[in-house]
Chain A
């Protein structure tokens, strides 16, 4: 029925004011488009909060030995059971999470920082500087990390802080390579040439024009590094070279549990699940961050 059509809107005149551009989607709402990343963020925040505040709320300290409750299965008194010495797994898990997460974040920050600096300078300076820095990166890559970690840890003593520094110092190479590649491409971008042509200093060109455009891969690399550092810390603790007992970490809890894995599976399951959750959540969050950091707000 043609006569029932609604009246056409008044045509916009050619000289009329153009429609206002859509307001920029801010970082938060861009992240909001990623439900998985938001869920990951919630999991991470929840776990971190539980690790920071949980030990104060629990009735039992993590090193409270209870000889009448050795390897007790999960129950109301011990929601996640107890270990070989009758210590409460939940208390130890939350207490140990402090160290595991702290080591993961510190090591990732350090490694990503060094990698970004090395890769950024190498890619931007080019020539001999690039050659020297990238050969150094190759050498660092070629050193088997775990044996070196073991040697270093035995020298420095395995405090959580020194462990974080050691892991960070040995995990910057991938970031350096990725950042160098990005910088090499961005260095030739017209807006970089334009910035140089308008008199910007090299540090400003690198810091304000090149690196912000490479932020996506850097952040993704950084979040992956968090997960990686937690796993490395766990491996070292598992080998008995990480944080020393009685201080619990997820890694040395796993190590302690290996003897009784069949008899008391909750000893391995819960620390393992904790590591899995954090690493997965961090990786999903990194994926979401990569999209959210792009102001063009592309949703793939």
Chain B
């Protein structure tokens, strides 16, 4: 790491939730970085630790969650040591977050204009009428028609998509350098999803902000993000430039995810969509027992070999994954079963496929 530090650097982030029936290892040594203006997709199924990672970055982990290891650095500054005042300078000002369900992420009794001016008052010198005008401009920018007349309306008077736009306007009010979008389109119709995705893409370009896009929908992030990190059972199992990940997925889990996606422009799907057999592992580690040492995906992996049941693979550059090691996967046998892979010969002998 030379020169200026990255905008956001998450290193070995480990989050645990101690509960009565054991400790939940929600996030287990997650590392990634984000340059200014860059966008990263954090993809994984429910319970993979996506939202927990986001909340940990903002220091908003719900009880009893705790960051037990690792660090989150913003422009080289460790956020762990921040006091309440320091956090207020980061939340909304440097990093803003948009949540999943627009129905509940806006205050139901506060007019929408005030929900935006509130953020302006917290992070800018705008007050009163000037703040109101800026709120109107922001709401108009995110696509609320007739924004000026609707500043005093309450959230329930808007549609789901409009609410998400308002939520976005509030998040952007502090002109953050990083926007964390935690499944912001999950609760919306497909057509509205596409609009929101396009809006975020536009705004990102316009404001030059970095975006951490959290989703379970690989197809959704395909056109939006520069890089994708795939999260499974609290760990990153594959990280690559978006194009490389879609063209040549290395980890069996990523490939299974891609295979379970219907191709919209492809031929008619014949028969059923591919599903991933089994279910994600329980991240709860009962008291006085150790977390499993094996690869977390091994129980569902069609290519699992003996080694996979002994030791979990580290995240390492994939053979043939570009010169700079930008394509990394946590698999002992990356691209196993991928006939088109010229680099896979070394592992071929151990490949049970």
Contacts and interface: CB of A to CB of B under 8 A. Distances in A.
Interface string B165-194: 001001101100000000000000000000
Given A17-B145, A190-B99, A197 B91 contact: yes
Given A21-B157, A190-B101, A296-B154, A199 B93 contact: yes
Given A24-B157, A190-B99, A198-B171, A295 B109 contact: yes
Nearest to B63: A126
A201 B109 contact: no
Interface string B36-61: 00000000000000000000001010
B16 interface: no
A197 to B, nearest CB: 5
Interface in A162-208: 188-191, 193-202, 204, 208
Interface stretch (B118-126, B208-216, B270-278): B118-126
Contact of A213 (B109, B122, B146): B109
Interface residues of B, number: 41
B179 to A, nearest CB: 11
A294 B60 CA distance: 29
Nearest to B158: A21
B119 A199 contact: yes
Interface size range of chain A in the complex: 20 to 34
A196 B99 contact: no
B162 to A, nearest CB: 9
B158 A194 contact: no
A149 B17 CA distance: 48
Contact of B118 (A24, A204, A212, A213): A204
Contacts of B88: 199-201
B107 A196 contact: no
B107 A191 contact: yes
Most buried by B among A17, A190, A202: A190
A201 B152 contact: no
A188 B62 contact: yes
A195 B88 CA distance: 11
Contacts of B107: 191, 195, 208-209, 212-213
Contacts of A199: 87-93, 119, 122-123, 174
Most buried by B among A195, A196, A201, A209: A195
A190 B118 contact: no
A202 B85 CA distance: 11
B226 interface: no
Contacts of A195: 107, 118
Contacts of B174: 198-199
Interface in A18-44: 18, 20-22, 24
A200 B96 CA distance: 12
A215 interface: yes
A201 B84 CA distance: 9
Contacts of B108: 191, 213, 295-296
Contact of A190 (B105, B119, B146): B105
B156 interface: yes
Given A198-B91, A198-B96, A296-B108, 12 more contacts: A17-B145, A18-B145, A24-B154, A188-B62, A194-B170, A195-B107, A197-B92, A198-B170, A198-B171, A208-B110, A295-B109, A295-B154
Interface of B: 58, 60, 62, 84, 87-93, 96-97, 99-101, 104-110, 118-119, 122-123, 145-146, 150, 152-154, 156-158, 167, 170-171, 173-174
15 contacts: A17-B145, A24-B157, A189-B104, A191-B105, A193-B60, A194-B97, A197-B91, A198-B97, A198-B122, A198-B171, A199-B122, A209-B107, A212-B110, A295-B109, A295-B156
Interface of A: 17-18, 20-22, 24, 188-191, 193-202, 204, 208-209, 212-213, 215, 294-296
